[in-house]
A and B are shown apart, each in its own frame.
Chain A
Amino acid sequence: MAEDVAAVDLLIVGAGPAGSNAALRARACGLQVLLVDENHDAGGQVYRPLPAGFSRSADASQSAEVRAGDGLRVALRSAGVDCRFDHKVWNIGADLRTDLIGPGGSTSWRPRALLIATGTTERVVPFKGWTLPGVMGLAAATILLKSQNMLPGRRTVVAGSGPLLLAVAHGIVKAGGEVAAVVDLASRGEWLHALPSLAGRPDLLWQGLLWQAKLRLAGVPMLYRHGVRTVETTDGGLRIQVDEVDATGHPLTGGECRTIAADSLTVGHGLVPGTDVTRLLRARHRYAPERGGWIAETDVDGRTSIPGLYLAGDGAGIAGAAAAGAHGELAALACAADLGRIGSETHLLERASLLAAWSRPARVGRAMAGLMALRDGAVAAIAANTVVCRCEDVTRAEIDAAATEGARDLNQLKAWTRCGMGPCQGRTCGDVAGALLALHGGSRESVGCFTGRAPLRPVSLAEVAGDYTYADIPIPKAAPL
C-alpha cells in the first residue's frame, strides 16, 4: 500500500447510477468526494460507457437509457467530482482505510465515510457444458452489445430467467444478429402476473411490449417454461439441448426436449447483490431471496450495521436501475447529515422527496427481482459431474459428498472441496453452492456465506510491494532460537 494515506470525507466505490448520483448529491452538500470505479468511465452496468475513442453518431436517435448515461457522465464532469477511473479497490480496513491500485500505482485513503455502490454479479445455475467458450452471461452479452458494440454470436440462444432475457434478445436483433430462441424458465402466466407491478412504470411496460413485438416479427421462437439442459461443441458452434421445466425450474419427466444449433449461448438466472466489501468488514447480513440473495442489513437510507459504511443501489438488494439513483442520493444525504454537514431540517426535507422518487421505481424493480429469484428445481437438477466452482473445477458430486460427510456451512465446504478458493473467491459459485448445501438439510441462513477476506480482487505481489530493496523491508523482531 501507499505509505501516505490521504483523508477525504466520502469515498464512493462504484460509478453506476447509485454511486454517480450519490457523488453529485454529496458534492452539492459540500462534502469532499472521491468516486472510484474499475472501468474507464462512469455508468456501471446499466449506463455502460463506450470504450475510450468510440463515439455515438450525432445523427442517430439515442435511447432514453443512452441519453441518461451520457447525461450522468456529463454531470459528473461539470460538477467537478474527483473521479478515479481504472482503479481497483483491493482492501478495506475496519477503520474504512481503502487501498486502491490504479494506472499510477497504489494509493490509500482514509475516508470519514464509505459508500459502496458496486451493484451485482450475475448468477448462472450450472448445466453440462456451461463452462465452454461460447457460453456467456446475460449481463456479459449486455456489456458486449452496449459497450463493445458487438454481437455475442451470429446465431445466439438467449436463456435463463428475468427481465434481462428480453432486453438481451431484443438487443441482439436490433444490432443485426439472429436469436435462435429465447429459453425462459418462466411461463407466460408469470409474466402476465408481473404486469400490474409495471403500472408504476408505463414506459417500461411499453418498452417490453415493443420488444416482444419486434422479436415476434423477427420470428424468434419464445420457449417459455424451458431450460438449457446441456451444451456441447460441434464444428462451427454449439449444440444446445433444451427441456421443458416445471415452475421450480426442474426438467419435466416426459417433457418436450429439443436441440438447437447456434454459435453462442447467453444465459443468466438472476442478479446477486455483491457482498464482498460488506462481508470483509463483517457487517450484519440477512438472506433475502426476493432481493437477490444475501444482502447486508441496511436502513432505508443505506446505513449498514457498521458506522460510516453505507450501501446504495442493487448491491443493497435488487430494486432496479431507476431506483438506484435516488437510493444513492438518499445515502449521500444520510452521510452528509451523519457527518454534520447538513442540518436535520434540510435532511428531512430533501429526504422526503427522494424517498418518493425512490419508492415507485423500487416497487417495480423489486417485482422484476422476483422474476429472477433462484429456482430450487434448477439447482436440484444440476448433474453430478457438472462443474459448480469454475475456478477449481469442483463438481456437484464433490459438493454432495462433502455435505453427506457432514459439511454444514459454506466455509466447511470450502475447506473440504476447495470450492470458493480460486481467484474469484466464490463470487461466481457461492449462491449456487449455498443452495446445493442447503438441499442436504439446514437452511440458506445456516449454510451462510463465504467469509470475506482481502484482496477484493486479485492483486500481484509486485502491485502491493512496489519498488524496494532488501533494506526497505520493515523487519519486526526475529524469531526465538
Chain B
Amino acid sequence: MSHPFPHVLSLRANAAVHRGLPVVFTVDGMEVDAFEGESVAAALWASGRRELRRSPRADQPRGMFCLMGSCQECLVWVGARKLPSCQVPVSVGLAIETLAHRERSHG
C-alpha cells in the first residue's frame, strides 16, 4: 500500500497548528526533543519510545493506552511524584524517570 503522503516523516502532524517552543527534556537521563506543552506520553511516542513500564505479575511491556489519565498505564516519575505521563506537559529542563529506572537507582 503506497503512502499517500510520503513527506510525513515524523508522527507530528501538520494540522494548521503552531506548536509551542521546541525544547529538550530528559528521560532516564537521555535527551528527547519535543515541543513545550506536549504531553510527555505523546512526546515519548513521537520519539519512538513506546514501552514505559512492565506489568506487575506477567512482566509484560506496557505503554500509554487511554491517554486521559484513567488507565494508569503510562506512569512515570517526575521528582517525588508518580504521574500518568499523558497528564504531564513537557517543559524546559523537565527530567522524567521511568518506573524501572527509579527502581534500579534505589538499589
Direct A–B touching, Cβ under 8 Å? yes
**Which positions in A face B, CB cutoff 8 Å?**
38, 40, 45, 50-57, 59-60, 62, 121-122, 131-137, 139-140, 143-145, 148-155, 173-178, 180, 218-219, 387, 390-393, 422-424, 427-428, 457-458, 460, 462-463
Interface residues on B, range: 35 or more
Residue of B nearest to A385 (CB): B58
Interface assignment of B52: CB less than 8 Å from any CB of chain A: yes
Interface assignment of B11: CB less than 8 Å from any CB of chain A: yes
Separation of A154 and B5 alpha carbons in the complex (Å): 10
Q: Are B61 and A132 closer than 8 Å at their CB atoms?
A: yes
Given known contacts A148-B38, A150-B42, is B66 in contact with A393 (CB within 8 Å)? no
Task: Enumerate chain B residues within 8 angstroms of A143, measured Cβ to Cβ.
Answer: 67-68, 86
Residue of B nearest to A45 (CB): B68
Count: A-B pairs, CB below 8 Å = 169
Q: Are A140 and B68 closer than 8 Å at their CB atoms?
A: yes
Q: Are B70 and A427 closer than 8 Å at their CB atoms?
A: yes
Task: Enumerate chain A residues within 8 angstroms of B52, measured Cβ to Cβ.
Answer: 133
CB distance from A401 to the nearest CB of B (A): 15
Interface assignment of B104: CB less than 8 Å from any CB of chain A: no
Residue of A nearest to B57 (CB): A393
Separation of A105 and B21 alpha carbons in the complex (Å): 28
Given known contacts A139-B66, A391-B72, is B4 in contact with A150 (CB within 8 Å)? no
Task: Enumerate chain B residues within 8 angstroms of A154, measured Cβ to Cβ.
Answer: 3, 8, 11
Q: Are A51 and B1 closer than 8 Å at their CB atoms?
A: no
Separation of A133 and B51 alpha carbons in the complex (Å): 6
Separation of A135 and B62 alpha carbons in the complex (Å): 10
Separation of A218 and B17 alpha carbons in the complex (Å): 23
Q: Are A424 and B70 closer than 8 Å at their CB atoms?
A: yes
Q: Are A393 and B58 closer than 8 Å at their CB atoms?
A: yes
Task: Enumerate chain A residues within 8 angstroms of B38, measured Cβ to Cβ.
Answer: 51, 148, 150
Q: Are B68 and A153 closer than 8 Å at their CB atoms?
A: no
Separation of A178 and B6 alpha carbons in the complex (Å): 10
Task: Enumerate chain B residues within 8 angstroms of A152, measured Cβ to Cβ.
Answer: 11
Interface assignment of B97: CB less than 8 Å from any CB of chain A: no
User: 4 shortest A-B CB distances, which residue pairs?
Assistant: A53-B20, A133-B63, A60-B16, A51-B37
Separation of A481 and B107 alpha carbons in the complex (Å): 40
Given known contacts A219-B1, A392-B56, is B62 in contact with A139 (CB within 8 Å)? no
CB distance from B98 to the nearest CB of A (A): 12
**For window 1-41 of chain B, which residues contact chain A by CB distance below 8 Å?**
1, 3-5, 7-8, 11-21, 35-39
